[in-house]
Amino acid sequence: MFGRTASQIAEWRSGVSAALAQGARTPFYLFSPDSVAQRLSELDQLQFGRPVRHWYSCKTQPLAQQLDWWRRTGRGIEVVSETEFLLARDCILDVDHLLVNGPAKHRWLPQRSEPRLRVNFDSPTELEALLPLALREQWRTGIRLRTPEEFDPGAPQFPTQFGFEPNEAVRAVKRLRKAGLTPETIHFHLRTNVATADAYSRALNSVIEVCNAARFSPKYLDIGGGLPPPHILAKDGSAFNQRFRFTAWAAILRRTWDSLPGVEELWLENGRYVLAGSGVLCIRVLDIKQRTGLRQLIADGGRTLNALISTWEDHELLPLVPRGGRKVPTAVYGPTCMAYDQLAQREMTSGIRMDDCLLWFDAGAYHLPWETRFSHPLAEIWWQDGGAPVRVRGAAE
């Protein structure tokens, strides 16, 4: 159902078992860069017609070890907050490998600014507030555009809160030029788990219209992230990536260069697609209850503490030690006093017993940023890169 191979499952089971043998205490995360390298390789095999620069989405997995691995590949880091800026700045060697995005950065960036920063402006207010600093320190600037494809997922009739409206973007480009700064980048970010490549086609049409209206020939086209990762299901049981065609997406971008011939590089900021598969969450069964028609497993980790994303995504959930028995309706809960704290509800083997460890796969995207301390400490973090796992954060930290 989830599409992961037996060898991939066995590899994670081996890594988790090695961490437990070294004293890991549940709940804990195990992270590895192996799947990150695989996802990047898949993207690099596509033919875009322009060189591609991958930016690490720091908000997706703000883990120093993963950032350091990424830096050693020669790629840059994208940040959207002061906290991420400081984490990235401790890791990278020069500002050429740092990209600053996000809203309302005029409230914190003046205290952290450096010459030659790469900054994509998000609003007219932000632009006016930061323009004197951008001029003084000769930032390399861009404009984030809100395309018609960007709408509130809970109320699609309303737009998202990010970026300039098209008419504002045109004025922003002209304002930068008048001040003596030539913008280099046009940027947009659609949303997470984009369903089809056609969404990019419609967004790029809006980009082209704005560039034509502003007589703007961007050097870099930054299309953000949003690609749907493999092995993850929506709550209706469908795979998020079932309709997305990567070759069609690449073809759409190749056609774009006819209208934006000055673009020298395509920039990608894929967080979930690149990082989701880089981690697993290991939890332990503390109690088992049998209700009418439902077997309930109470674990020491769950949605509220470790996996808020389970609210709208279904991930593979397997026992560390394979168990026999027939499949029965089962719900897995975390330890907090909230009925909301349900990690999964599906058929699972009846052989799962007390003190068994369960593995929640694809825990690499947005799990760390959304952790909570709801009556419990943060989970341990273990890191594995070629050798034995090492603990990089204890439960009390």
Residue 248 and residue 197: Cα distance in Å, rounded? Answer: 6
The string of pLDDT tens digits covering residues 143-182 is 999 999 999 888 999 999 999 999 999 999 999 999 999 9
Tell me the CATH number for domain 34-275.
3.20.20.10
The CA-atom distances, in angstroms, between 297 and each of 17, 29, 312, 313, 375 are 21, 19, 20, 19, 19
Main-chain phi, psi angles of 364, to 5 degrees: -95, -10
The CA-atom distances, in angstroms, between 3 and each of 118, 233, 241, 277 are 39, 10, 12, 12
What does the pLDDT read at residue 395? 81
**Taking the model in full, what pTM does it have?**
0.97
Query: Where are the domains positioned within the chain?
Result: 6-30+277-393, 34-275
Other C-beta atoms closer than 10 Å to the C-beta of 45 total: 9
* β-strand partners of 220: 185, 265
What does the pLDDT read at residue 1? 78
Q: Is the alpha carbon torsion for 149, 152, 157, 158 positive or negative?
A: negative
Name every residue whose Cβ is closer than 8 Å to that of residue 47 and which is 6 or more positions away in sequence: 250, 254
34-275 shares the fold of 6-30+277-393: no
Residue 301 and residue 306: Cα distance in Å, rounded? Answer: 6
Answer for the pair 184, 140: CB distance below 8 angstroms, yes or no. yes
Taking the alpha carbons at both ends of the chain, their separation in whole angstroms is 37
What does the pLDDT read at residue 93? 80
Residue 310 and residue 325: Cα distance in Å, rounded? Answer: 26
Question: pLDDT below 70 — which residues of the chain?
Answer: 396-397
Tell me the CATH number for domain 6-30+277-393.
2.40.37.10
The string of pLDDT tens digits covering residues 292-334 is 999 999 999 999 999 999 999 999 999 999 999 999 999 999 9
